[in-house]
A = this chain, B = another copy of it.
Amino acid sequence: MHEGDLVLLSGADRKPAIVRMQPGQEYQTHHGVLSHDAVIGSRWGESVQTHLGYAYTILPPSLDEMIRDVHRATQIIYPKEIGYMLMKMNIGPGTHVLEAGTGSGGLTLALARMVQPDGHVYSYEARPDIQATAQKNLERVGLDAYVTFKVRDAEDGFDETGLDAVILDVREPWLLLQQAHAALRGGGFFCSLVPTVNQVGVLLRNLELRSFGFTEVEELMLRPYKAVPARLRPVDRMIAHTGYLIFARALLAGTPVPVAEPEDMDDTEDDL
């Protein structure tokens, strides 16, 4: 590996750290001091030891690990939801996407990783201190070049238009629907993540009024297992809830929203 590389130091304590390697520097762990030079001098997938003999394996960090490693100014959006957003909103190389608010920058980081080289992320946040933390989180992993940070109350509107996707990660996303619609291209992707069913209800009612259609509400549950082949079983506890994902599409004003044909409400009967 080379100096300047971003490294995931992963030990037996299940508390990995992400560090950029610089010659001559040292990294303090709970299990002793690790010399950057020792890491730079070794190969990916190898283990290096602290002065106390604690072993860390040297790994390239995943996007999941980078997000879990951000300094938290706020609750973050979980990788499982972010990954699903990428699929549902076709966010990838070349995508121009806007998010409000920036928060800790976990989602920002993932978006910046995915839209490069010719896409871009526009990230709005009302509180400068919070956005400053997010910006540092992006700089730490070298992805800030793909993000334009703006400190602004999103209710004042967005500068961008014709965007491919808009993601609202705020307490009252329904207050920003007009602004989101104005920033989106026709048929553009909308998503919001909210923790309570009350917020889902209010958002759904307002999406109908603001020329959004094809609305979907979904939640994702992640269930980890104890990876012990002789005693394979789910872990004892899991996260019960991160939030509800609401997806929609920006329709041209005046476009009639297709009324979905009703499902059979009795279709659980025969499952009995």
The reply to whether B61 and A90 contact each other, CB–CB distance below 8 Å, is: yes
Give the secondary structure class of A's interface: mixed
The reply to whether A223 and B225 contact each other, CB–CB distance below 8 Å, is: no
Question: Chain B nearest CB: distance from A128 CB in Å?
Answer: 23
Mask of A70-102 contacts with B, CB within 8 angstroms, 1/0 = 001001101110111111111011000000000
Of the stretches A22-30, A132-140, A150-158, A208-216, the one at the interface is: A208-216
The reply to whether B45 and A250 contact each other, CB–CB distance below 8 Å, is: yes
The reply to whether A59 and B195 contact each other, CB–CB distance below 8 Å, is: no
Given contacts A87-B79, A110-B87, contact A234 B240 (CB under 8 A): yes
Residue in B closest to A257 when the chains form the complex, CB atoms:
B57
Q: Which residues of B contact A55 (CB under 8 A)?
A: 256, 258
In Å, the complex CA distance between A59 and B221 comes to 29
Q: Which residues of B contact A242 (CB under 8 A)?
A: 268
User: Interface range on chain A: under 10, 10 to 19, 20 to 34, or 35 or more?
Assistant: 35 or more
The reply to whether A198 and B201 contact each other, CB–CB distance below 8 Å, is: yes
Given contacts A13-B261, A227-B204, contact A46 B266 (CB under 8 A): no
11 extra interface residue pairs, beta carbon distance < 8 Å, beyond A80-B87, A218-B223, A219-B223: A44-B188, A60-B185, A62-B90, A75-B268, A76-B272, A78-B272, A79-B87, A93-B114, A217-B224, A224-B240, A234-B240
22 A-B pairs in the complex with CB atoms less than 8 angstroms apart: A44-B185, A47-B255, A57-B251, A58-B187, A60-B164, A60-B187, A63-B92, A66-B90, A72-B269, A82-B87, A83-B85, A92-B114, A197-B232, A198-B201, A204-B228, A216-B227, A218-B222, A218-B225, A223-B240, A226-B263, A236-B239, A236-B240
